[in-house]
Each structure stands twice: as C-alpha cells, then as structure tokens.
A and B are shown apart, each in its own frame.
Chain A
C-alpha cells in the first residue's frame, strides 16, 4: 500500500520537476533523468546515540555517511543522479531497545520518508528494525549488530547485513587453535548475544581440531568476575575466551590480568572494537587475539580514510564507522546505476554485486541471504612498547579470505 502511494508520489515528483524544467530551459539535466520518490533521497541513521555503543558507532557514523556522500559527488559530479539538495540524513537513538528501535524505524520510514535505514547495533533492536523494513518494503542495511538471525530465519528481501556476524568473529578462533591454543574455556554473559557467540565459537574451535573444556555462563551485567575466572582456569586451558562486550568485557579483562591466569593462558576476545582497547589502555589487552572486520592502519587506503575521519572527529574510525561509510556509498552508487531510489530496483542492483571499497575487500553482496561477505582479519593487540602512535594498537597476523570468513548461505533463509 505504502509503496503504491510512494510510487505515485515519485511519478508526481517526476512530472512536476519535468514541468519545472520545461519552464526554465537549460536547467541541470541529470536530476530530471532520475526517478526519486518524493524528489529526495533520505538516509536514516538509527543507532545508539547515548549508550554503551555510542563510541564505537553513534554520532560519528553520521560523519562517515557524510564522507560517503561527499565521495559520491566527487565521483559523479554533474552526472550524479541525486543532487546535494536532494540528499538528506536523519538520525535517531534506539537506546538499544527493540521497542524503541521499532517505533523509530516506523517514524523514519513514514514520517521522515527515509528511503533506507543504516546501522542499528544490538541484535534485538536490529531484528526489530528488519521486521519493520520487511513490512514497509523499505531498505535496511544493518552494520552494528552481530546476530546470525538477520541472514537466517529472520532474513527478508529488504534487509542486508553488511559488516560482521558471530560466526565470522569465531573464525579468528581457528587461527588461534592452529597457533597451539588447543584447549579452551569460554566465559559468556547469559543472554542472546553471549549464547549465540558460544555456539559459534564452539563450532569454530572444534572444526579447527580444538576442544572446549568448559563454557561458563555469567549474569549480565556483572562487575565481579574473579570466581568465574578461577573456574575458567581450573581445567588448565590454553586459551580463555571471553564473549562479553562493553563494560563487562573491561571488568573481565582487568580482573583476568590481576588473577595470574594471564601467565598460564592466552586471552581471546569474541568481539572487540578499537574503542574498547583505547578506553581500557593497550597494556591491559596486550597479546589478546580477536577477529577484526577492518583496521584503520591496515594499509594506505584505510589510513587515508582514517586521516580524513580524524580531521572531522578527533578520533580514529572503528570498523563500524568504516562499514557505515561503505554501506552509504554503495547505496548511492546503486541509485546512480538504477536511476531511481525505488527499493526493489536497489535490491536487484545490490544482489550479487562484487564490491571493493575501503571497507569491503573482495566483498560480495550475496543474493542468497543478503549477507555481505568480505576479507576479515585475525588481530593481536600490540605490546605497549610497540605502539608507535595513538590508536595504533593492532597487529594483523592473518587475513581470512571472504569465502572462509563467512559461513555458507543459511538454509533457514528464504528470500
């Protein structure tokens, strides 16, 4: 229903602008060739603007999207299908709550006329937005959430999952097993994210020939982990894997470092952002391995992007920032090729597309489940003495090729 109305609006808008152009001869031709719904492209950024994920994504993702818009105009100039006046960004805060995310997504699509929603960290909020996108037949590219459900049972034709997922995070674990970390103890917070992570890590470690001695559930949130650490160490594992995020992760790492278990076992972190390392201090994490989706100082191209980003924000980008840039850019590029912002047309533009940009290396937007696959990295946190400049915290020890990093198309997903 909504799409019919918007289709009508698009046609009217097109007709109106054609009339207008007929009136003033010699007007900018390219804009008239496109078919934009309500004569505008509205990008909605929906993420955590005030809570635990604010630093790793939050308001700085808007900066990343603005950079993508800038690059789009730089690339196409006068040929651009969308003009600067026609592009708009709207933002809202999910507070990481699924009910708030649901309401905000509806408002963005209906009231702000958003053509696409980007980001949405926190898996439960992301799933809520995916449902709204499916109902409204509007585009949604998730960047910040990890859940496999987005490209599994909850997949839909209008939702794409751009940056990472729990199984991709677990792939780095296989590298640790090959390095001699054969026996593992896992500690995880007992809610959806932690449970999903344990499932993925157990699979990855066992596939690589390792063993999980024990998986220990902890309350969430929790700030005292000392006894859980003792329990994790009691089976003498080579590796202790922690599946917590944010403040809980920092609590765990501080207490792990004091416990003396650090001398017996390596610490592997399931999900970590560069902002986590920065906030706790590199020496606390030194030697920790984890899977990273992207690292700002990986090569010249990334570094250039990071320098530009730093000029605008005073900080280095996390992989979520780079992925938001990439998603926004590829979306605009798809509009350019399709000559319209119609959701179905954009979906068919994106499906199966092979992409190489600053974030996606050997990237492919899979048609089967809308999972975006790309090269990923096994990273190790540097020792404090090896850090040459601020934010230079990671050493990339291995590249996981795109097709190995991400699992096969999920049979639960039917698009």
Chain B
C-alpha cells in the first residue's frame, strides 16, 4: 500500500511536469493548427539556456524561471514571423515538416556548441531534501515541480476562460471567420500565441534542468510522450492536455512500479484505447478529428 502511495505521488509530480509542457503544444495547435514537432527542442533550449545563464552569468534557477520563458517567447515570435507564418495557409503537413526540420537543426547546433555529454546544472537552493506526506517521502524538488506546474496550468486556463484577452484568443482560434466578422484582428494574435506556447516549453525545460540530463537530445524522446498526451487529451484542448498529462504521469509511475520496462508501452496502449473509444481524445472537439 505504501509503495502504491509512493508511486501515486511520483506519478502526479511527473504528471504536472508533463501537463505544463503539453500545454504549450496544445495552445499552439489550438491557435495555429500547427503540429509543432519542434516542441521537444524548444523544451531542450529552455534547459540549455538556463544552464548557460548559470555558467556564464551566474544567473540561478529562480531568476531563470522568469528570464528563460521571456527569451523563449521572443525566440518563438521570431520563428513564427520568419518561418511558421508563411506556411499557415498550406496543408498542415508543411508546418509539421518545417518544425521537424527545425528541431533537427536546433539539436545539431546545440551539439556543435556544447557537445553531447550534457551541461551541469545544480539543485536550486532551498529545494533539496525530502518532504514527508503521511507515510510517503517525496523529494522537495518534485513536490515543487508538481505545485508550480499545476499553478501555471491553472493560471493559463483562467486567463483563457475568464479574461477578455483570453476570450479574444479563443474566438480567434476556435472560430476565426466569425471573429474576423466581429472586427477582431485574428492574425495579430497568432504570433504572440505561438511565442507563448514556445515560452511554456522553455519553462518546462528550466524545471527539468535540476533533475534531468541537460543534453542536446533531451527533447527527442520527450516530444513523443508529449504528442501522446495531447492526443489522449484531445488535440488543441488545454484542459485535455492538463488532465492527460497527469494521467500519463500516473500510468508511467504505475507501469514502472508494477510492469517494469513496459511503462512506456503502457502510455501508448492508453493512447490507443482512448482513440478507439473517443477518436477526438478525452476533451477534444469533434472538428478536431
């Protein structure tokens, strides 16, 4: 029983992290209809940037949590303006190929600059040690990642659901024609939304740096899991990405605990089952099919 509780807590902690990273992917798909295969590389860039900031300018974790997403937002805006924008009117496949190519380029550039064995990143001060929750002990850092991700997801959801800006973005992304007819400048919102999605990936990268290897290839495997998450949650659905992120975190933890090497297979079994029962995903709109 204690082991089960331990796995549950670990699954939720990993899940929060997955949810945060998948959120950016879902927002980008919702707003632009772009299947952003470079999301894993943006996540990697976030972590690498944090490591470089620490090494070169002695900027620590807490400051990086703010600075890196801002840098990644700017980077995302540039990518959107220079590349993504021009292919939006074409078939969805074009931007998929573009982002796929972009991710290969980014990974190789980082490899070229920083090698392959990874960059060091220290544990943030104040977050080492363990926290006891009832009968289970959890690393303080994992608990922080869980709470922080949950808070960011909640804020993003509240902004989208409750504020005027959120409503405009949703209208522009969900019903672009009607929004245009109502005088909303839809294309003006596309660029910052893409940048925002990239910033979320970068933020996930900063969170990953203290507990995962900071290497050029750290996003390659990760992006596959993220795609499974957004498919399970429903493409483009923000709530779906968050719920599915936690679900996948739990499935992975129980899989590791009870099924060993099959833990990653289980994620894709879950994805297959969800697609069979609800082809649009758990929270997907029918149009997304």
A-to-B contact residues, CB < 8 Å: 50-56, 190, 216-219, 221-224, 226-228, 230-231, 234, 246-248, 250-251, 254-255, 257-260, 275-276, 278-281, 283-284
Contacts and interface: CB of A to CB of B under 8 A. Distances in A.
Nearest to B120: A281
Contacts of A223: 212-213, 218, 221-222
Contacts of A219: 261, 263-264
Given A223-B221, A254-B210, A228 B256 contact: yes
Interface in B233-289: 252-253, 256-257, 260-261, 263-264
Given A217-B261, A224-B14, 20 more contacts: A56-B117, A218-B261, A219-B261, A219-B263, A222-B264, A223-B213, A227-B6, A227-B263, A228-B256, A230-B7, A231-B257, A247-B118, A250-B213, A250-B215, A251-B212, A254-B210, A255-B212, A279-B115, A279-B118, A281-B122
Contacts of B252: 224, 227
A247 B10 contact: no
Nearest to A50: B111
Contact of A258 (B14, B120, B139, B256): B139
B253 A226 contact: yes
Closest 4 CB pairs of A and B: A281-B120, A250-B213, A227-B256, A279-B117
A219 B225 CA distance: 14
Contacts of A218: 256, 260-261
B251 to A, nearest CB: 11
Contacts, number: 109
Contact of B213 (A190, A228, A254, A257): A254
A137 B137 CA distance: 59
* Best-surrounded residue of A218, A231, A258, A276 (most CB of chain B within 10 A): A258
28 contacts: A52-B116, A54-B115, A55-B117, A218-B256, A219-B264, A221-B221, A222-B221, A223-B218, A226-B14, A226-B253, A227-B11, A227-B253, A230-B3, A230-B10, A250-B213, A251-B212, A251-B213, A254-B211, A254-B212, A255-B211, A257-B123, A258-B123, A258-B141, A258-B210, A258-B211, A260-B129, A278-B117, A281-B121
B151 interface: no
A243 to B, nearest CB: 14
A223 B217 CA distance: 11
Interface of B: 3, 6-7, 10-11, 13-14, 111, 115-123, 128-130, 137, 139, 141-142, 210-213, 215, 217-218, 221-222, 252-253, 256-257, 260-261, 263-264
A301 B205 CA distance: 43
* Best-surrounded residue of A51, A56, A219, A280 (most CB of chain B within 10 A): A219
B215 A247 contact: yes
B141 A55 contact: no
Contacts of A50: 111, 116
Given A217-B261, A226-B10, A226-B14, A258 B128 contact: yes
A282 to B, nearest CB: 9
A51 B117 CA distance: 9
A51 B119 CA distance: 15
Contacts of B115: 54-55, 279
Nearest to A189: B261
